[in-house]
Amino acid sequence: MAEQKPEDELRIGVYICHCGSNIAGVIDPAEVAEWATHLPGVVRATDTLYACADSGQTLIKEDIKKYNLNRVVVSACSVRMHETTFRAAVAEAGLNPFLMEMANIREQCTWAHGHDKEGALKKAKDLTASAIAKARFLNPLTMIKVPVTKRAMVIGGGVAGISAALDLADQGIETILVEKEPTIGGVMAQLNKTFPTMDCSI
């Protein structure tokens, strides 16, 4: 395991996204940012209109250099949405991408608690604190590189499968097209003409 850096070296940057009005319509991102400045290890906390936009990413990248940040926390949307975006952004600024942590204050906060703004604000603060706490213990990691077998398999020989197989094969990729019936063609082969052009199906 990579060695933990001592706490006195910890320099966390925290970015609270407005996401236009998606987040800022329910809570005040500036208040969360101000609050986060008091948490241990945080040297920079600010709100940003769209963290994922060029301007937001540039802000983070510049701050990494300006404040010598070694951890970044982005309180914005779901990790399923933008984790790769922010990992790439911090990597561009020379930080290991795994030293970035997200707090999901959109899908799992403002979008779900529009009826309870006070509750949403408390939760946004807690989720941000939780991400900061995790960030404190993040380790730099390196992606694992695996070899690639340059063969494709398409399961199902209907119109979608045939299209996929033909396009893969035209790219020069050896492709196995698997069909459970004795013939390929699927439902499409059973059809007469097709809409809206009334051309034949096979």
> Does the protein bind another protein through residue 43 (CB under 8 A)?
no
Classify burial at 48, counting beta carbons within 10 Å of its beta carbon; exposed 0-12, middle 13-18, buried 19 or more: buried
> To the nearest whole angstrom, how small is the minimum distance from the Cβ of residue 76 to another protein?
13
Instruction: Yes or no: say if 161 and 177 are a contact pair by the CB < 8 Å rule.
Output: yes
Question: What does the chain come to in residues?
Answer: 202
> Does the protein bind another protein through residue 9 (CB under 8 A)?
no
> To the nearest whole angstrom, how small is the minimum distance from the Cβ of residue 62 to another protein?
26
User: Of 86, 85, 81, whose CA–CA distance to 14 is shortest?
Assistant: 86
> Does the protein bind another protein through residue 88 (CB under 8 A)?
no
> Does the protein bind another protein through residue 163 (CB under 8 A)?
yes
Give the torsion through C-alpha atoms of 31, 37, 40, 42, to 10 deg: 120
> Does the protein bind another protein through residue 181 (CB under 8 A)?
yes
Where would I find the beta strands (DSSP E) of 12-142? 12-17, 42-48, 71-76, 100-104
> Does the protein bind another protein through residue 21 (CB under 8 A)?
no
> To the nearest whole angstrom, how small is the minimum distance from the Cβ of residue 10 to another protein?
9
Instruction: Yes or no: say if 72 and 41 are a contact pair by the CB < 8 Å rule.
Output: no
Identify which range of 13-21, 51-59, 62-70, 149-157 contacts another protein by CB under 8 A.
Answer: 149-157
> Does the protein bind another protein through residue 134 (CB under 8 A)?
yes
Q: Which is nearer to another protein, 48 or 104 (CB)?
A: 104
